[in-house]
Chain A
């Protein structure tokens, strides 16, 4: 029997010690009505070799993104991941450990998470970070709940340019509670409508949620937006791509109170969108309203530096119905992977990755400008993705797909009013050749 060590002899000895005769006796006190009377239909169990062969065939039914010339981003990005990363986080003492509740036998995990928290603070400029959350979408929801607790207000503003799946998640998270969420639209240039933000801000509003670079890839007027919100006592929450922070201005200096987002771009494989992790950072003054686990540095009884989970009184296992969140676990392994990624890439590597992505994306943009059928509805103030428009966009996408090119994400799926718009992305993985062949195929298709 796979994964069971007890032999028949062991089992007999153990049953005798307990004072019963059979395995079935162990649960004879369960009501008959709830017991399974017929054997389950799960097959008879496979050898490891069979499982290996079968699942390999299943995996081969998928085409990895590397098998395409892909310009797909929209919240999940393909980056180069140094080989050492997977090697490190596959270590059993990270992969098969649990939450570091027993500090003395978990110092490595605790220090790694402390370093992760530090990395998030360094990137965002914020004072404090938690030990990670589930993903970008739920990090937005948790940030908003936090802002609602801090402000004790009832209304939430969210920019229409925040990732639509994040907006939907927020809506679901708030659906059981007595809060009102209003969307702040964007202008024709794709940026958040400043006037609408000013009009909607009031002393009843807890926070405004902005995304920058926004879903269309545009870098928002963060400083002005934050200032407008602050003038009404409204907190500013930023959703951002942490790898973009290698070149973009740190959110604290722009006036944000809470910064969150998905950490997938920091060394995580895409695997169909999960697992990655969510991050959340804030200012010292709001630290006690942060949800999730936090690691702190302290000393042991001999005065040596040591780490442990701290501020646990905020959490569900102590506060129960009064907790800051129901969140119990985090995505530790993913957070540690992010710290390893940032350590390996370092200052120079991160700066390069950001700069290359910026250059490649703008190179693609410049090349596309040569095709007269293509229009660009929005500004060119983007980082690593942008929106373009072409007649019969969905057909164009399909034609390119037949040539093994994924042109990008069809924006109309989320924004029906943005017809024929496509969102395309370049990370440092793209080459000049990739882009040139994409543009050539696009030109050919547009002419046809």
Chain B
């Protein structure tokens, strides 16, 4: 393979593409308009032709796995199919070419969409209202936890701690720190659920909230959720729902019925918007009555059949970003929900569970399950048996790449050693899952027959295993002219 150059090395001075038109006014040099010391001397950008740019990025694209090209069972990320009608609608100029400060009468369609999407999410979750400001799940957590903080402050509750199970996503404790709370970590039971006794003992009047993912990161439903809610609520704490794993509950159960006071949904997971190499996403944050007065502004409301931005929220936390949120992502989620309707969402949840449970039933005699409890939409294996034979979860993951599938999430949750977390999602077929199962069994067999092929995997990728240690020790995080 030809060595891949960075785009800057393809530049030829003098080459240009001329995209913009010259104004019909007398052009002055910048120095004639502004003081010279405010201006830069040179613009150190490359000069390329369109074909070079298109070819460069098209060839880069071809080096990646994606949902459209590969099975992508990355646990906790819900890599489901991203319907193309969503893209078509999101590309309409009535949605792309609108300015956030246009008059409300010229964006009634956009506001109606936001309003209707909010109503649908309220119906699905049982929450009272949603804000769409957060750009991701993590920012949704920040939004929700800051609302909880302000709620306690207004009520003059002395709260200092947030309880988080040791199986949680890393964003939960990080968010809690950003809100000025001390994190109290609760150890899970051997089966991977919240330990009710430990929770009870850890919960006192100083607990502001518990942050919980349900199903949790082991793919297990927290069966004692009502008991958990009772313990926290009795001490005046609130329940935060991390909706990263909401997919298997769509149309089946509601976070409001579980006792959650504030939730976030990852629209890029459960509601089919594309992940775009890690963003843009959207975190919709929903609240019950207790937190209505604390929502960020603005909200979208109606008055005399007109939609408008409502900035009147009594104890609003303010805002977590400029403007209103990742609107164009919301358009896609909206199109998805219109298409599914009530029967569709239930089928999503059911097939998500079916696919995961089928996969686990076929693989459990080869790879140890992290828990004996029935899994929901994802299943966590602990590759300890394989590790004893010298093959780690990382090795197995890398070997899966050779079979043209993206590996599962590795080494998470942290409480499972040699973890591989598999989330097939509902959009995959039995045939695809069977292929994954066969591959996993074949890899397990290879451990005895040809371990080196696993240890040196992947073999068919543009590069072999990447030296992450060198990347961190000899930092090179940007191109420099002449390599200096």
Q: Does A touch B (CB under 8 Å) in the complex?
A: yes
Within 227-259 of B, Cβ neighbours of A (below 8 Å) are at 248, 251-254, 257-258
CB-CB contacts of A100-125 with B at 8 A, as 1s and 0s? 11111111110111110111011100
Whether, in the assembled complex, A333 has its beta carbon less than 8 Å from a beta carbon of chain B, the answer is yes
Q: Which 4 A-B pairs have the closest CB atoms?
A: A273-B323, A45-B341, A59-B94, A61-B109
Contacts A27-B252, A270-B97; A323 near B177 (Cβ below 8 A): yes
CB-CB contacts of A114-144 with B at 8 A, as 1s and 0s? 1101110111000111011011111000000
Shortest distance in angstroms between B262's beta carbon and chain A's nearest beta carbon?
A: 15
CB-CB contacts of A230-257 with B at 8 A, as 1s and 0s? 0000000000000001111110000000
Whether, in the assembled complex, B154 has its beta carbon less than 8 Å from a beta carbon of chain A, the answer is no
- Can you give 27 A-B contacts (C-beta < 8 A)? A6-B430, A26-B374, A36-B253, A42-B345, A64-B97, A64-B98, A84-B53, A84-B54, A93-B64, A104-B398, A104-B461, A105-B401, A109-B278, A111-B6, A112-B57, A114-B6, A115-B8, A166-B322, A173-B320, A274-B280, A300-B464, A321-B174, A326-B178, A342-B45, A355-B27, A356-B23, A359-B27
- B319: chain A residues at CB < 8 Å are 137, 165, 168-169, 172
Shortest distance in angstroms between B238's beta carbon and chain A's nearest beta carbon?
A: 14
Shortest distance in angstroms between A273's beta carbon and chain B's nearest beta carbon?
A: 3
Q: What CA separation (Å) do A332 and B135 show in the bound complex?
A: 12
Shortest distance in angstroms between A390's beta carbon and chain B's nearest beta carbon?
A: 18
CB-CB contacts of A263-284 with B at 8 A, as 1s and 0s? 0000001111111010000000
Q: What CA separation (Å) do A250 and B69 show in the bound complex?
A: 41
Q: What CA separation (Å) do A347 and B49 show in the bound complex?
A: 12
- B109: chain A residues at CB < 8 Å are 57-62
Shortest distance in angstroms between A338's beta carbon and chain B's nearest beta carbon?
A: 12
- B23: chain A residues at CB < 8 Å are 356, 359-360, 363, 428, 430-432
In the complex, residue of chain B having the shortest beta-carbon distance to the beta carbon of A47: B339
In the complex, residue of chain B having the shortest beta-carbon distance to the beta carbon of A398: B103
Q: What CA separation (Å) do A446 and B79 show in the bound complex?
A: 57
- B426: chain A residues at CB < 8 Å are 3-4
Contact in complex: B53, A344 (CB < 8 Å): yes
Contact in complex: B278, A45 (CB < 8 Å): no
Q: What CA separation (Å) do A65 and B426 show in the bound complex?
A: 39
Whether, in the assembled complex, A63 has its beta carbon less than 8 Å from a beta carbon of chain B, the answer is yes
- A274: chain B residues at CB < 8 Å are 135, 280, 321, 323-329
Contact in complex: B429, A351 (CB < 8 Å): no
CB-CB contacts of A321-341 with B at 8 A, as 1s and 0s? 111011111111110100110
Contacts A23-B350, A95-B276, A326-B178; A348 near B251 (Cβ below 8 A): no
Whether, in the assembled complex, A396 has its beta carbon less than 8 Å from a beta carbon of chain B, the answer is no
Whether, in the assembled complex, B7 has its beta carbon less than 8 Å from a beta carbon of chain A, the answer is yes
Contacts A42-B123, A432-B25; A109 near B149 (Cβ below 8 A): no
Q: What CA separation (Å) do A54 and B112 show in the bound complex?
A: 12
Shortest distance in angstroms between B77's beta carbon and chain A's nearest beta carbon?
A: 6
- A219: chain B residues at CB < 8 Å are 34, 38
- B4: chain A residues at CB < 8 Å are 107, 111, 305
Q: What CA separation (Å) do A166 and B60 show in the bound complex?
A: 35
CB-CB contacts of B85-99 with A at 8 A, as 1s and 0s? 101110111111111
Contact of A330 among B253, B254, B278, B296 (CB under 8 A): B278
In the complex, residue of chain B having the shortest beta-carbon distance to the beta carbon of A429: B20
Contact in complex: B458, A104 (CB < 8 Å): yes
- A59: chain B residues at CB < 8 Å are 89, 92-95, 109
Contact in complex: A272, B171 (CB < 8 Å): no
Contact in complex: A91, B61 (CB < 8 Å): yes
Q: What CA separation (Å) do A103 and B462 show in the bound complex?
A: 10
Contact of B466 among A31, A131, A298 (CB under 8 A): A298
Whether, in the assembled complex, B371 has its beta carbon less than 8 Å from a beta carbon of chain A, the answer is no
Contacts A44-B343, A272-B98; A17 near B361 (Cβ below 8 A): yes
Whether, in the assembled complex, A5 has its beta carbon less than 8 Å from a beta carbon of chain B, the answer is yes
Shortest distance in angstroms between B306's beta carbon and chain A's nearest beta carbon?
A: 11
- B175: chain A residues at CB < 8 Å are 326
Stretch from A69-77, A183-191, A197-205 that touches the partner: A69-77
In the complex, residue of chain B having the shortest beta-carbon distance to the beta carbon of A88: B57
Q: What CA separation (Å) do A137 and B475 show in the bound complex?
A: 28
Q: What CA separation (Å) do A354 and B141 show in the bound complex?
A: 38
Whether, in the assembled complex, A417 has its beta carbon less than 8 Å from a beta carbon of chain B, the answer is no
- A175: chain B residues at CB < 8 Å are 146, 149-150, 317-318
Within 77-104 of A, Cβ neighbours of B (below 8 Å) are at 78, 80, 82, 84, 86-88, 90-104
Contacts A122-B45, A165-B322; A272 near B327 (Cβ below 8 A): yes
Contact in complex: A295, B477 (CB < 8 Å): yes
- B18: chain A residues at CB < 8 Å are 348-349
- B376: chain A residues at CB < 8 Å are 27
Shortest distance in angstroms between A73's beta carbon and chain B's nearest beta carbon?
A: 9
Contact in complex: A331, B135 (CB < 8 Å): yes
Contacts A96-B67, A334-B279; A169 near B318 (Cβ below 8 A): yes
Contact in complex: B25, A17 (CB < 8 Å): no
In the complex, residue of chain B having the shortest beta-carbon distance to the beta carbon of A59: B94
Shortest distance in angstroms between A239's beta carbon and chain B's nearest beta carbon?
A: 11
- A300: chain B residues at CB < 8 Å are 463-467
Contact in complex: A273, B324 (CB < 8 Å): yes
Whether, in the assembled complex, A171 has its beta carbon less than 8 Å from a beta carbon of chain B, the answer is yes
Contacts A26-B357, A134-B136, A344-B53; A72 near B99 (Cβ below 8 A): yes
Beyond known contacts A334-B276, A381-B35: 11 more, CB 8 A cutoff = A3-B340, A17-B361, A18-B358, A45-B339, A75-B322, A93-B65, A219-B38, A271-B327, A326-B175, A356-B27, A428-B23
Stretch from A153-161, A312-320, A370-378, A437-445 that touches the partner: A312-320
Shortest distance in angstroms between A291's beta carbon and chain B's nearest beta carbon?
A: 10
Whether, in the assembled complex, B192 has its beta carbon less than 8 Å from a beta carbon of chain A, the answer is no
- A88: chain B residues at CB < 8 Å are 53-54, 57-58, 61
Contact of A347 among B6, B47, B464, B480 (CB under 8 A): B47
Shortest distance in angstroms between B458's beta carbon and chain A's nearest beta carbon?
A: 5
- A134: chain B residues at CB < 8 Å are 135-136, 139, 279, 321
In the complex, residue of chain B having the shortest beta-carbon distance to the beta carbon of A381: B34
Stretch from B179-187, B197-205, B380-388 that touches the partner: B179-187
Contact of A26 among B11, B146, B353, B472 (CB under 8 A): B353
Whether, in the assembled complex, B442 has its beta carbon less than 8 Å from a beta carbon of chain A, the answer is no
- B351: chain A residues at CB < 8 Å are 4, 6, 11
Whether, in the assembled complex, B344 has its beta carbon less than 8 Å from a beta carbon of chain A, the answer is yes
Whether, in the assembled complex, A346 has its beta carbon less than 8 Å from a beta carbon of chain B, the answer is yes
Shortest distance in angstroms between B466's beta carbon and chain A's nearest beta carbon?
A: 4
In the complex, residue of chain A having the shortest beta-carbon distance to the beta carbon of B407: A102
Q: What CA separation (Å) do A263 and B118 show in the bound complex?
A: 28
Q: What CA separation (Å) do A113 and B341 show in the bound complex?
A: 37
Q: What CA separation (Å) do A275 and B480 show in the bound complex?
A: 29
